[in-house]
């Protein structure tokens, strides 16, 4: 039983390989009669697209989305929204030399074992190119969530050892796009860019952390006991290529506090109930409490590097691998819109699920 659908009511199914004719997807369950701004969808895609800056892969893809259904005269109709993005700059020849070789920490070996067949060109289905489809659906979800006051803002909070130690509230998250690494601290951003550029020249790669703040006025999102809001956010993030960890609110740091320190006291803010702190990260008992949702996602350094590596081929022969395909020294900045998108899919799905809780 395959796993190419995400969500329960607002559902995205994606398809497509890195070097096939097109990638695409179907959104089923998009609320009807809502305005969809296609230009704004493209804006999100452009934030993810390759070749956007000197620190990303030089593959050139326009990544223009073509909508095929479900939108009529600028509005969603309630019918499924099908869309495709044609692949254009495929240089499949680049990959012929790795047809029989298992690249270290790539999916080559496990795909071969699992399926008995593998489209080796550019990683085929395992390529992060697939995430462009998530961005399309996520962009639509964000447009709908905006009408309900929900705003998602992800940003790079760490690259390698370069960590944003100040509170994100000290920065203006509206200005994330001011630098190509999408870090709210302009100063730290310059260090990050310099570091990435250095590692790019080495033919190596770097990881980092994306943090996300969701301004969420809606109390009640999340479905106990298994589909807790942060459990679904966690799955969403962990399904993104190269992600190795997820934490919500106080996260791994929570283990250093006592309950009396960690509990978020309820207090009144005028007529509204609020909390004095937010170690919960906006989610309690798996359900949103109206405070900001905060989580972080760890990305490993991507496996594709230019440096020579040792590995084996299909027949068990030791080989030395020298990848010739284009290379992305640090995918973290390009992953910011993907984190936004996946967060939006979860938030909108739970918003629609909430509608069924009461008659």
Query: Binders of a copy of itself among 119-148, rule CB under 8 A?
Result: 119, 124-126, 130, 144, 147-148
CB of 174 to a copy of itself, least distance (A): 25
Q: Looking at beta carbons only, is 61 or 232 nearer to a copy of itself?
A: 232
Residues 6+ apart with CB under 8 A from 147: 34
Q: By CB under 8 A, which span of 46-54, 89-97, 186-194, 218-226 interacts with a copy of itself? A: 218-226
CB of 92 to a copy of itself, least distance (A): 12
CB of 247 to a copy of itself, least distance (A): 3
Query: Binders of a copy of itself among 230-249, rule CB under 8 A?
Result: 230-232, 234-236, 238-239, 244-249
Does residue 165 interact with a copy of itself by CB under 8 A?
no
Matching residue, tokens 């795909």: 111
Q: What is the SS3 assignment for 10?
A: coil
Q: By CB under 8 A, which span of 48-56, 89-97, 173-181, 254-262 interacts with a copy of itself? A: 254-262
DSSP string for 62-83: ---EEE-SSEETTEE-SS-EEE
CB of 315 to a copy of itself, least distance (A): 10
CB of 162 to a copy of itself, least distance (A): 10
Of 93, 113, 177, 178, the one binding a copy of itself (CB under 8 A) is 113
Matching residue, tokens 């998108």: 341
Of 264, 335, 340, 343, the one binding a copy of itself (CB under 8 A) is 264
User: Residue 277 and residue 290: Cα distance in Å, rounded?
Assistant: 13
Query: Binders of a copy of itself among 299-318, rule CB under 8 A?
Result: 299-305, 307, 309-312, 316, 318
Maximum Cα interatomic distance, the chain, rounded to a whole number of Å: 70
Q: What is the SS3 assignment for 139?
A: helix
Distance separating the N- and C-terminal Cα atoms of the chain: 34
Of 9, 38, 173, 180, the one binding a copy of itself (CB under 8 A) is 9
- Number of shown-chain residues binding a copy of itself (CB under 8 A): 151
Matching residue, tokens 């290529």: 241
Q: Which two tokens stand for residue 304?
A: 């594709």
Q: Looking at beta carbons only, is 75 or 175 nearer to a copy of itself?
A: 75
Quick count: other Cβ atoms within 10 Å of Cβ 251?
15
Q: Which two tokens stand for residue 260?
A: 């009396």
Query: Binders of a copy of itself among 22-61, rule CB under 8 A?
Result: 22-26, 28-29, 31-34
Q: Kindly tell me the burial class for residue 97, based on how many C-beta atoms sit within 10 Å of its own C-beta (0-12, 13-18, 19 or more).
A: middle
Q: By CB under 8 A, which span of 37-45, 90-98, 117-125, 183-191 interacts with a copy of itself? A: 117-125
Query: Binders of a copy of itself among 274-303, rule CB under 8 A?
Result: 275, 279-281, 284-289, 298-303
Q: By CB under 8 A, which span of 36-44, 114-122, 169-177, 181-189 interacts with a copy of itself? A: 114-122
Nearest alpha-carbon partner for 122 in 107, 140, 142, 104: 107
Of 36, 45, 55, 81, the one binding a copy of itself (CB under 8 A) is 81
CB of 253 to a copy of itself, least distance (A): 8
Give phi and psi for 57, each to the nearest 5.
Answer: -55, 150
Count how many Cα atoms sit within 13 Å of the Cα of residue 339 in the half-sphere of its side chain. 29
CB of 120 to a copy of itself, least distance (A): 9
Cis peptide before 94 (omega within 30 of 0): no
Q: Looking at beta carbons only, is 45 or 133 nearer to a copy of itself?
A: 133
Buried b (16+ CB within 10 A) or exposed e, 171-190: beeeebeebbbbbbbeebbe
């Amino acid at each position: 039983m395959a796993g190419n659908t995400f969500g329960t009511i607002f559902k995205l199914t994606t398809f497509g390989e890195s070097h096939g004719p097109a990638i695409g997807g179907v959104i089923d369950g998009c609320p009807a009669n809502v305005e969809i701004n296609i230009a704004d969808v493209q804006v999100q895609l452009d934030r993810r697209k390759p070749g956007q800056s000197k620190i990303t892969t030089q593959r050139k893809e326009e990544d223009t989305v073509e909508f095929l259904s479900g939108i009529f005269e600028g509005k969603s109709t309630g019918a499924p929204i099908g869309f495709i993005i044609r692949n254009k700059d495929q240089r499949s020849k680049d990959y012929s030399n790795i047809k029989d070789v298992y690249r270290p920490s790539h999916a080559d070996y496990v795909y071969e074992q699992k399926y008995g067949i593998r489209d080796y060109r550019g990683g085929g289905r395992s390529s992060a190119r697939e995430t462009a489809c998530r961005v399309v659906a996520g962009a639509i979800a964000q447009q709908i969530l905006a009408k309900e006051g929900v705003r998602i803002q992800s940003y790079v909070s760490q690259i390698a050892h370069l960590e944003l130690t100040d509170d994100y509230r000290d920065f203006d998250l509206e200005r994330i796009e001011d630098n190509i690494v999408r870090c709210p601290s302009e100063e730290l951003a310059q260090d990050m860019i310099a570091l990435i550029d250095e590692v790019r020249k080495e033919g190596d790669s770097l990881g980092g952390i994306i943090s996300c703040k969701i301004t969420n006025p809606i109390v009640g999102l999340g479905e106990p006991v298994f589909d807790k809001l942060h459990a679904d956010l966690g799955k969403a993030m962990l399904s993104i290529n190269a992600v190795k960890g997820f934490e919500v609110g106080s996260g791994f740091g929570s283990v250093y506090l006592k309950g009396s320190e960690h509990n978020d006291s309820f207090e009144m803010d005028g007529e509204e109930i609020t909390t004095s702190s937010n170690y919960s990260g906006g989610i309690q008992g798996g359900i949103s409490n109206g405070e900001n949702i905060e989580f972080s996602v760890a990305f490993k350094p991507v496996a594709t590097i230019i440096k020579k590596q040792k590995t084996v081929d299909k027949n068990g022969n030791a080989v030395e691998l020298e990848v010739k395909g284009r290379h992305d020294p640090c995918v973290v900045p390009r992953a910011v819109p993907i984190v936004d998108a996946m967060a939006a899919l979860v938030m909108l799905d739970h918003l629609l699920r909430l509608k069924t809780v009461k008659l």
